[in-house]
Amino acid sequence: MTTDSLTTPDHPHPRVEHDRKQSVLDVPVLDKKPGPIGRGLAALPGDGHPVWTYVLGILLAFAAVASLSIVAGLVVTRVLLPIHAVAVDDGSLVQFLARHRSAGLTEASLIGSIMAGGVVLPIIVVVGAVIAGVAKHWRLAGFLLFALLVEVGSYRATTLLIHRQRPQVHRLEHLPVNASYPSGHTAASIAVYCGLALLLTSRLKSRGAQIAVWLVAVLIPIFVAFSRMYRGMHHPTDVAAGLLVGTATLIIAICAARAAKSAELAGEAAR
């Protein structure tokens, strides 16, 4: 078997690997071999077209996540909530939190909301994407940027079609009352903070450090979720939908990045 016979997206040419310089921004989790879906995505625009592979992957990611969110919303609003016991249980936690508000907890809930709001997360993502872009790590920049954009776009598309009233408690924010589903703050916190944890822990060798990073990354969305319910903005099922949307966004964003890597290696090997 010749060396050239090993030149495939999953087995790049040895010279390609040898010539590639290591960087502090190299992220192993984005460089792993794609699964069947990723390989199919890489082949759609043709071998050696990583940019188009990534663009197509992001468009498909938006369509998939938005569809998943909308279908889940229909199940919640049309199937589950008409069941009286489910509706009562879904509102009881928010009512409990509203009855036990205090100045300190209200301040903490504001911090939790700001951490996953429309100011802090864009700053984190844009700064990270600019640094990655300047260093010419385009897939890393794209992952950081589009993970949030796909989540936001899916959230907006869902709220246009799924109208659910916010909890019947005194709300601490003035937002549209029929946009309770899903919790965009929860979904965005997962897409960004858990996305950063994925990137960081793929480089860390220490198991203890990995656990510490993931502990923080998981606790942040939990804190955000309870903050949003405490402030009367979402029901538990809205938060659960946010968890689903955020997780799906990360999975598909990683798939798109790996597919682009596979297409890039195929192009390099062909040249």
CATH number at residue 175: 1.20.144
Contacts 24+ apart (CB under 8 A), 157-161: 157/66, 157/69, 157/70, 158/66, 158/69, 158/70, 158/73, 158/182, 158/245, 161/70, 161/73
φ/ψ of 164, rounded to 5, equals -135, 135
Which has more pLDDT, 56 or 186?
Answer: 186
Residue pair 54/256 in contact (Cβ under 8 Å)? The answer is: yes
| Rounded mean pLDDT, 90-112 | 97
- Tell me the C-alpha distance between 154 and 132, whole Å: 25
Answer whether residue 8 is part of any domain: no
Please choose, from the candidates 122, 167, 161, 165, the residue with its C-alpha nearest in 3D space to the C-alpha of residue 145: 122
- Tell me the C-alpha distance between 140 and 133, whole Å: 8
Answer whether residue 154 is part of any domain: yes
- Tell me the C-alpha distance between 252 and 57, whole Å: 8
Residues 6 or more apart whose CB falls under 8 angstroms from that of 76 comprise 164, 181, 237, 241
Least confident of 64-68, 145-149, 189-193, 266-270: 266-270
Please choose, from the candidates 20, 12, 41, the residue with its C-alpha nearest in 3D space to the C-alpha of residue 258: 41
- Tell me the C-alpha distance between 222 and 240, whole Å: 11
The pLDDT, as a whole number, for residue 26 is 82
Which has more pLDDT, 36 or 179?
Answer: 179
Q: How many domains does the chain have?
A: 1
Residue pair 142/50 in contact (Cβ under 8 Å)? The answer is: no
| Rounded mean pLDDT, 164-187 | 96
Mean pLDDT of the chain: 89
Which has more pLDDT, 265 or 8?
Answer: 265
pLDDT of 9 above 50: no
Q: Domain range spanning residue 58?
A: 27-270
pLDDT class of 35 with cuts at 50, 70, 90 = confident
Answer whether residue 176 is part of any domain: yes
The C-alpha angle with vertex 41 and arms to 36 and 42, in degrees rounded to 5, equals 100
Which has more pLDDT, 38 or 149?
Answer: 149
Instruction: Give the global pTM.
Output: 0.88
pLDDT class of 27 with cuts at 50, 70, 90 = confident
| Digit-coded pLDDT (tens) for 220-239 | 999 999 999 999 999 999 99
pLDDT of 107 above 90: yes
What secondary structure does DSSP assign to 131-184, as a single string?
HHHHTT-HHHHHHHHHHHHHHHHHHHHHHHH--BPPPSS--SS---TTB-SS-H
Burial class (CB in 10 A: 0-12, 13-18, 19+), 200: middle
The pLDDT, as a whole number, for residue 209 is 96
Answer whether residue 7 is part of any domain: no
Answer whether residue 153 is part of any domain: yes
Answer whether residue 16 is part of any domain: no
Least confident of 12-26, 66-80, 88-102: 12-26
Looking at residue 34, what DSSP letter applies?
P
Q: Facing residues of 164 across strands?
A: 179
